[in-house]
């Protein structure tokens, strides 16, 4: 019998029993849809996590002196950092940006138009990059500005809107605590993941040197001091390695003896984000397993109904054998039936899964991703189910004795 005839035979037998076919396929449809949905939720989550892990925030380390340390005979007071520390860290392999800054919160900023309260920072050129920010107008703080302790500032978009209205602020004077600076550039607000609360869009940057000399003041122990250091690693960099090298640099610079506790802290959100990613992964495996189980149950349903079908059609099988059907003809007839039902329900299930993933696109909590790999995987598993669970009933049919089969009531 030709494959096409066999397929036609299988198809007509499914059509002749529409309700049964529908109910049997339901199991596979739900199974495939579940596998598809679960896998794409898993994939969506994975991509979300990857995105998070490659974001500025998760690539960043912030280093602060340990303010909680008390001066004891064993330890020195916790000094601020030096500008040279930042330069050394910037040279570590895999570091995208390293920046040192000074900060004075709630500083009065004024122009001819008005005044406001904002954060005043002393920064180096890398500060822009490390915050994921861009210049909207003018220029960034330069190393020359730091060398010359130039009285220039870069202001935020928010400051421009508040204190300059529609004016072009570049080259105009601005007062920080009544000391006059010249506006050099305008920048965007930082990456929302990297700033910690507060009025993120209200800030003024000056070169570290001018900020120290004119507004914030020096440190009695450390020349050219800075308050904190922010380090951003490259995407996919070896973060533990970077952290280790930062430690080496800091310990040497701060003369901490081997084995002594550090007098600074390195903060990173990477640790909990990686743990988060791991638990997301576990959850998506769990979901996929649940999908697989429902597919398995669907497969058992197919096998069950195929066994019933073989029993019910015993006489037909006997007749076909008497008319000259080979064992292989009978086998392929029933196998084709199981396969056909699984392929068709697989396709419908895939459609249902895809529909679900389209609906979920609007949702914030569930991220589903369409991928041909996932589609192929869930469809392939339906096919596999058809072969595995169709085989036993088909073999039973092919092994019937035609004489007994013909007598079957």
Q: Is the dihedral of CA 276, 278, 279, 284 positive or negative?
A: positive
402 touching another protein, by CB under 8 A: yes
362 touching another protein, by CB under 8 A: no
With CB under 8 A, what is the number of residues at the site for another protein?
20
176 touching another protein, by CB under 8 A: no
User: Binding pattern to another protein, positions 265-304, x when CB under 8 A?
Assistant: ----------------------------------------
Give DSSP secondary structure letters for 246-303: HHHHHHHHTTPPTTSPPSEEEEESHHHHHHHHHHHHHHHHHHHHHHHHHHHHHHHHHH
Q: What are the C-alpha distances in Å from 61 to residues 129, 228, 233?
A: 14, 11, 8
19 touching another protein, by CB under 8 A: no
Token pair of 152 as six digits: 């220039």
Kindly indicate which of the ranges 225-233, 286-294, 324-332, 349-357 contains the residues binding another protein, using the contact rule CB under 8 A.
Answer: 324-332
Q: Least distance to another protein from the beta carbon of 390, Å?
A: 21
311 touching another protein, by CB under 8 A: no
5 touching another protein, by CB under 8 A: yes
Kindly indicate which of the ranges 65-73, 212-220, 311-319, 353-361 contains the residues binding another protein, using the contact rule CB under 8 A.
Answer: 311-319
| Whole-angstrom Cα Rg for the chain | 35
**Among 200, 319, 347, 377, contact with another protein (rule: CB under 8 A):** 319
Q: Least distance to another protein from the beta carbon of 311, Å?
A: 16
Half-sphere exposure of 359 (CA within 13 A, CB side): 7
364 touching another protein, by CB under 8 A: no
Name which of 5 and 279 has its Cβ closer to another protein. Answer: 5
Q: Least distance to another protein from the beta carbon of 386, Å?
A: 23
Q: Is the dihedral of CA 199, 204, 210, 215 positive or negative?
A: negative
Subset of 46-105 contacting another protein (CB under 8 A) = none
Name the H helices within 91-177: 126-130, 143-148, 157-163
Do strands 115-123 and 203-207 pair parallel, antiparallel, or not at all (unpaired)?
A: parallel
Q: Is the dihedral of CA 211, 217, 220, 226 positive or negative?
A: negative
Token pair of 99 as six digits: 């920046």
What is the contact surface with another protein in residues (CB under 8 A)? 1-2, 5, 16, 315-316, 318-327, 329, 402-403, 406
């Amino acid at each position: 019998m030709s494959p096409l005839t066999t397929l036609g035979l299988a198809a007509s037998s499914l059509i002749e029993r529409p309700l049964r076919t529908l109910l049997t396929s339901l199991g596979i449809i739900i199974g495939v849809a579940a596998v598809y949905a679960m896998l794409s939720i898993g994939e969506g989550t994975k991509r979300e996590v990857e995105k998070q892990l490659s974001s500025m925030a998760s690539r960043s380390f912030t280093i602060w002196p340990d303010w909680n340390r008390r001066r004891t005979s064993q330890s020195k007071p916790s000094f601020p950092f030096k500008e040279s520390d930042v330069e050394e860290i910037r040279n570590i392999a895999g570091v995208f940006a390293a920046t040192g800054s000074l900060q004075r919160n709630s500083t009065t900023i004024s122009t001819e138009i008005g005044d406001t309260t904002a954060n005043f920072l002393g920064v180096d050129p890398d500060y822009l990059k490390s915050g994921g920010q861009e210049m909207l107008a003018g220029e960034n703080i330069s190393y020359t500005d730091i060398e010359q302790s130039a009285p220039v500032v870069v202001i935020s978009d928010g400051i421009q809107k508040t204190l300059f209205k529609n004016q072009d602020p570049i080259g105009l004077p601005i007062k920080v605590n009544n000391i006059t600076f010249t506006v050099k550039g305008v920048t965007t607000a930082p990456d929302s993941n990297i700033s910690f609360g507060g009025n993120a869009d209200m800030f003024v940057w000056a070169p570290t040197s001018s900020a120290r000399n004119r507004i914030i003041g020096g440190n009695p122990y450390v020349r050219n001091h800075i308050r904190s250091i922010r380090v951003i690693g490259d995407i996919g960099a070896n973060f533990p390695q970077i952290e280790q090298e930062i430690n080496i640099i800091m310990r040497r610079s701060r003369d901490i003896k081997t084995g002594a506790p550090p007098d600074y802290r390195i903060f990173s959100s990477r640790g909990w984000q990686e743990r988060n990613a791991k638990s997301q992964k576990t959850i998506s495996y769990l979901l996929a397993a649940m999908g697989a189980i429902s597919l398995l149950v669907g497969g058992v349903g197919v096998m069950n109904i195929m066994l019933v079908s073989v029993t019910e059609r015993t006489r037909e099988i006997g007749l076909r054998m008497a008319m000259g059907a080979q064992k292989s003809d009978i086998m392929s007839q029933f196998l084709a039936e199981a396969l056909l039902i699984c392929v068709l329900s697989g396709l419908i299930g895939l459609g249902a899964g895809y529909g679900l993933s389209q609906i979920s696109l609007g949702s914030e909590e569930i991220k589903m991703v369409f991928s041909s790999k996932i589609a192929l995987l869930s469809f392939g598993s339906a096919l596999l189910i058809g072969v595995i669970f169709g085989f036993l009933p088909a073999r039973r049919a092919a092994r019937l004795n035609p004489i007994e089969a013909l007598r079957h009531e």
